[in-house]
Structure 1
C-alpha cells in the first residue's frame, strides 16, 4: 500500500488494481487495503521519519528551507464525527472537514504532515509538527516559510531560537501607521545590485530608467522590535 501510493499516486481502489500487474501477485483483497489504513495511520510518524532517512541515501534533501501550509478536505456528510468537524472550509462548503498541515523542503518535496480536526485553529498546528521534525528527523537549523495566516507571534518566537529563522508575509493594512507610511513611501527603495536608494517616482518620468531596471526586484528593509521579538 505504501510503496504503491508513492510509485503510482492514485486512489486505494486504483492501487489495488495496479497490484494485479506486478510480476509477483500479492495475496490480498480490496477489503484488506481498507483494513490496513488504521494500522498505517498509527505508524504514520514512524513511516514519515523512515521515508526521510531513506531518501537521504538517494539524494541530498534541501532541508535548510521548509515551507508550511494547511489545507482541508470535506466529507459529504451532515453530522460531525471524530476528526470530521465543522470549520472554515477552503472551498466554502457547508460540510464537516478535516485539516492537514504539510511541511515541504526547499525543493517542494513533502517532508512531514499531520491531520487535525476541522475546527482546529491552523496557527497552533505548526509547532507540534515542527517539534516532531526536530526530534524524529534530527533537523535543527532551518528557515520556516509561511503565509501571514500561520505567522502568529508565538510561531515567530518559536522559530527565532536555536539556529532557526522564519520568513513570512506581512499585511500592510495591519501595520502600525508609521510602518504603513514607511512601506508605501516611494523613496528609500533599493535592489541587490546597488547600495544606492531609489525614488519610485523617477520611473514614472523616465522610460529609459524603466527599461534599465525592468527585471530588478526592489525592496525596503528595516528592523523592528515588538512583543519581545526583533524582526527584519
Structure 2
C-alpha cells in the first residue's frame, strides 16, 4: 500500500491505495480509504507519520525531516567501475597476493598501481593531480582508506623491484589474446619528451632527434604488439639510441614470454640496415623455426634497386589498375614492391612544383646579382654569390632535393644544375613501397597488407601521447621514468582490450575507448545524510546507451551491494 494524493476540481484528497493484479495478471490499483482533504488534515498527517515511525523504530522528528539533509558532491563511478572489472577479468588482481608475498609494504601495492593505471585513462595527470582526481571518483572493491604522494612514489619503485612477477602476470593476462599458431608482431619506436636540466646516474634523458622534429631531451620507447593491436612488450631506451639496434633484443624477450610457434616481425623502414638483416636471419625461435620478417626499405636506398625494378616500372606505366604488386629476388630474399598510381602522380606533381619554386627563387637572386654587377642599385641589402649559394643550398636541403638540385659549393659564382638522371629515378620510384621479407608462403599482396597494418601501432603511440599522456615526463630518476612508462603501457593494454570488445559488439556513436569512458563517466554515486541517521548512498540511473556500452565491454552494471570508497 502507499499514500496517493488525488485531485477533484480545486480540492486535493489524501488516499490510502493498494496495488494488486486482477485475474488476468494485469496490474491495477484500488482505494482502501480516503483520509480526507489535504488542506484540512493539518497536524493529523504529522501525527500519523510519528506513529508509524515509532512502530518502525525510527525517530519521528528525524524521519519527518525536521533537520536539513546534507548532500555530498556526486562522484564519477562508471568509467572507474568498468576499468576495474576489466582489470579483474584479465587476472591483474592477482598482483595483490603476489606482491604481498614478496614485499613488506603495509600499503596495498596492487590497489595503488590500479589507481595510477586507471587515472591515465580517465583523467591523465601528475601524481599530485592523481590525488586531486581521487577526490572526484568512487573506487569499487578497494582496501585503500587514504592515499598520499609518497605512497604513489613507493609503488612506482616497487613496480621495478618486482618487475619479474608483474611481467609474468601481465603476460598471463595477454596470452589468451595471442594466437599461438601465427602471430604477426609489429615493432616501432617513438620519442617521449622529458623535462628537467639535472643529471642522474645512468641517465636516459638524452638529447636526440625527436619524432615531432628538432632536437629535444627525450627517451625512446619501443613497442611490440600483435596484428590485432594487443600490446605485448615495451622497453625504454636512452633518447639518443639508434633504432636499428633495438629490434632483436625486444623480439627475443617477447618470444620468452609467449609460446608462439611462428612469428612474422613487421617493422618500419627506419629499422632496415644490412647489418640488421644479417642479424635477423640468424634469430631462431624456441620451436627451431627461423624468425620471419617484413621490413620496409628506406627511401634513401631506393636507388640500389633501380636496375632490378626496371621491368616492373615498365609494367607499372602501362597498367590500368590503381595499384599493382610485384616481386623480385634480392640477396636471397624477396623484394616485394607495390605501386600506387594516384600516389605517384601526387608525389611527382609536388616535387615538380617545389623544384619550379626553387628555380624561380634562384632566377630572382641571379637577376639581382647581374644587376649589381652592372652597377644598378636596388632596394634592400646587396647580395653576394657566397650568401646566395648558402641560402639556396639550405633551402634545397630543407626540401630534401640535394641529390636532384646540385649546388656547386666550390665555384666563386652561384651556380647549380638539375641532375636529370636523379630526377628520373625519383619519378620512377614515386608511389612505390619496397619491402624485404624472408616469408615464403605469403603472397606479395598479403605481405603488403601485413605491412600496411603497421599503421595501427602508430595509433597506439598516438593514444599513449594524447589520451594516456605519457609525456612530457617530469621524473628525474631513470627508474621512475621506466616505472611511469610501465604504468602507461598497462593502461594501453586495458584500452586495447576495450577497443577490441567495442569492435566485436559495436555501439552507435561509441567507437573508441575514450568515447566509451566519457559515456560511462556520467554514472555517478550520490550520498545524502538526514540529521543523525546513517548516510544513504545511491547510484544514478543507467540509461540505454550506458547499458549498451557496458554490455559491449562485457561488464555487469554497478550495484549498491558493492562497497565504494570515497577518498
What's the counterpart of residue 182 of structure 1?
308
Equivalent in the alignment of 1:141: 262
Query: Does the 8 A contact of 1:86 with 1:97 survive in 2?
Result: yes
Could you say which residue in structure 1 is the equivalent of 2:501?
none
Larger radius of gyration: 2
Distance 1:120 1:29, change over 3 A: same
CA distance in 2, matches of 1:124, 1:75: 22
Does residue 67 of structure 1 match 2:186? yes
Could you tell me which residue of structure 2 aligns to residue 219 of structure 1? 325
Report deviation, 1:55: 2.7
CA displacement, residues 172-223 of structure 1 (integer Å, 9 cap, x when unaligned): 541455x21333x3x547xxxxxxxx833334xxxxxx4xx44xx4112111
Equivalent position of 2:363 in the other structure: none
1:110 & 1:116 partners in 2: Cα distance?
18
Q: Is the 8 A contact 2:171 2:257 kept in 1?
A: no
Q: Deviations over 1:103-145 (max 9, x none)?
A: 0111111110001111211211111121211223233520001
Whether 1:152 aligns to 2:279 is no
Q: Which has the higher helix share?
A: 2
Give the Cα–Cα distance (whole angstroms) in 1 for the partners of residues 299 and 261 of structure 2.
31
1:90 is aligned, of 211, 215, 222, to 211
Offset of residue 77 of structure 1: 2.2
Alignment of 1:121-136 (within 5 A): 121-136=242-257
Change (3 A) 1:140 1:88: farther
Partner of 2:333: 231
SS in 1 for 2:326: coil
Deviations 1:36-73 (A, max 9, x none): 1122134345433432222334x444861000011111
Query: Does the C-alpha gap of structure 1 residues 173 and 79 become closer, same or farther in structure 2, counting only changes over 3 Å?
Result: same
CA distance in 2: counterparts of 1:156 and 1:28, whole angstroms: 53
Contact persistence 1:112–1:133 (CA under 8 A): yes
- State the structure with bigger RCO (CA 8 A, min sep 6), 1 or 2: 2
The alignment's TM-score, normalised by the length of structure 2, stands at 0.33
Partner of 1:27: 145
After superposition, the Cα gap between the structure-2 partners of 1:23 and 1:221, relative to the gap in structure 1 and judged at 3 Å, is closer
The unaligned stretches of length 5 or more in structure 1 are 190-197, 204-209
**Structure 2: segments with no counterpart, 5+ residues:** 1-111, 335-567
Q: What is the count of residue pairs matched by the alignment?
A: 206
Q: d(CA) in 2 for partners of 1:38 and 1:56? A: 26
* Equivalent residue runs for 1:161-172 within 5 Å: 161-162=283-284, 163=289, 164-171=291-298
* Secondary structure in 2 matching 1:96: strand
CA RMSD in angstroms comes to 3.0
Question: Does 1:37 pair with 2:156?
Answer: yes
Residues 78, 96 of structure 1: 8 Å contact kept: no
